[in-house]
Homo-oligomer: A and B are copies of this chain.
Amino acid sequence: MKNIAILSISFLLLTGCLKKSENKQVEVVVNDTTTIKTDPLPSWNEGKTKAAIIDYINDVTNKESANFIPELDRIATFDNDGTLWSEQPACFQLFFAIDRIKTMAPEHPEWKNTQPFKAVLEDDMKTLIASGEKRLMKLVMTTHAGMTTDEFEQIVTDWLKTASHPRFDKPFNELVYQPMLELLDYLRANNFKTFIVSGGGIEFMRPWVEDVYGILKDQVVGSSIATEFDYNNGNPVIKRLPELDFIDDKTGKPVGINRFIGRKPVFAAGNSDGDLQMMQWTDSNTYKSFQLYLHHTDADREWAYDRESHIGQFNKGLDEALEKEWTIIDMKNDWKTIYPFQKE
């Protein structure tokens, strides 16, 4: 099982694998004479989690409040794997890499006898996981480097059209959380700027996050490999190189936030120990801030895992969330719906 951890880490390297409210309604002025109430978070069950979110947003966007936050400082950062979409039975970028190896295999007959490729081609996860960090990194670089950025975007786009999740038999980017989509919309409707801050690869996310999350490409922070500009006789390209550039996980998250965003967030959402430093960083904001941890508690509708999990381990983060009274989503009880395709 330790090797699953190594596998996850290898992927993370470039990829990633309570207050109560009496008013949970938001006022929407439709015209001068009519005011209707709509629920901004219809897929969330009523309860302290939903109330805490709505109370916070009402408070910090209220000009009369001592906690009012100017619009420029309304920065919200979201982890991706396990926070905006599922990450089981393995982070989805690993499925991408495995599929990619299989697609590339006909051009590499030598892979039949070379690890870690042999294990991938034989669906031998045990051997794959046992093959060690160096070989796993080779797998990552083989599948993520050696092409132009345009080519990689096309490869990811094509993969999403054809691949399907082993349990749900849906394209991977349909396994996003409906309640989180609503939360993103709700924040943006209140002039928060929403960013992804993920251990996953930036260029693995950018091809689809605008359509799926409404998060713009330049609002994606993630892990990356090195790239270089090639003038290419007047047809310039940017080439992806087999070399790590930045790991946007754990202490890398505040570093990435500082580098890309240049402001400390006031709102952060995550689900694992990899998000803890982002939470701490956000919690140190002089503005009133909000830390939202998603606890995977729903083995029936999604998965249940936390302290002992080798994917998305939630242990230190859970302790600190409890101690500091950050908001913890209990997926099983707080969410009415998990995925958009399950909506009634």
A193 contact set on B, CB distance < 8 A: 218
B281–A254 CB distance below 8 A: no
A131 within 8 A of partner (CB)? no
Q: Are A277 and B231 in contact (CB under 8 A)?
A: yes
Q: B-facing mask of A191-206, CB < 8 A → 1, else 0?
A: 0010000000011001
Measured between beta carbons, the chain B residues less than 8 angstroms from A236 are 254, 277, 280-281, 284
CB-nearest residue of chain B relative to A219?
B218
CB neighbors of B among A194-247 (8 A): 202-203, 206, 210, 216-220, 224, 227-229, 231, 234-236, 238
Question: What CA separation (Å) do A258 and B262 show in the bound complex?
Answer: 18
Most chain B CB neighbours (cut-off 10 Å) among A228, A252, A255, A262: A262
Contact of A277 among B216, B219, B229, B277 (CB under 8 A): B229
CA distance A284 to B231 in the complex (A): 10
Q: Is A309 an interface residue (CB 8 A)?
A: no
For chain A, the count of residues having a C-beta within 8 Å of the partner chain is 36
Contact B262 A217 (CB under 8 A): yes
CB-based contact A254/B238 at 8 Å: yes
Given contacts A277-B231, A284-B236, contact A202 B259 (CB under 8 A): yes
| Residues of chain B with a CB closer than 8 A to A21's CB | none
Contact B216 A228 (CB under 8 A): no
**A interface SS class:** helix
Any chain B CB within 8 A of the CB of A251?
yes
Cβ A258 vs Cβ B227 within 8 A: yes
Q: Is A263 an interface residue (CB 8 A)?
A: yes
* Known contacts A228-B251, A281-B229; A217/B263 CB under 8 A: yes
Q: Is the CB of A218 within 8 A of B261?
A: yes
List the B side residues contacting A228 at CB < 8 Å.
251, 255
Taken together as a complex, chains A and B put the C-alpha atoms of A255 and B240 apart, in Å, by 10
Residues A242-296 near B (CB distance < 8 A): 251-255, 258-263, 277, 280-281, 284
Interface positions of A (Cβ within 8 A of B)? 72, 149, 193, 202-203, 206, 210, 216-220, 224, 227-229, 231, 234-236, 238, 251-255, 258-263, 277, 280-281, 284
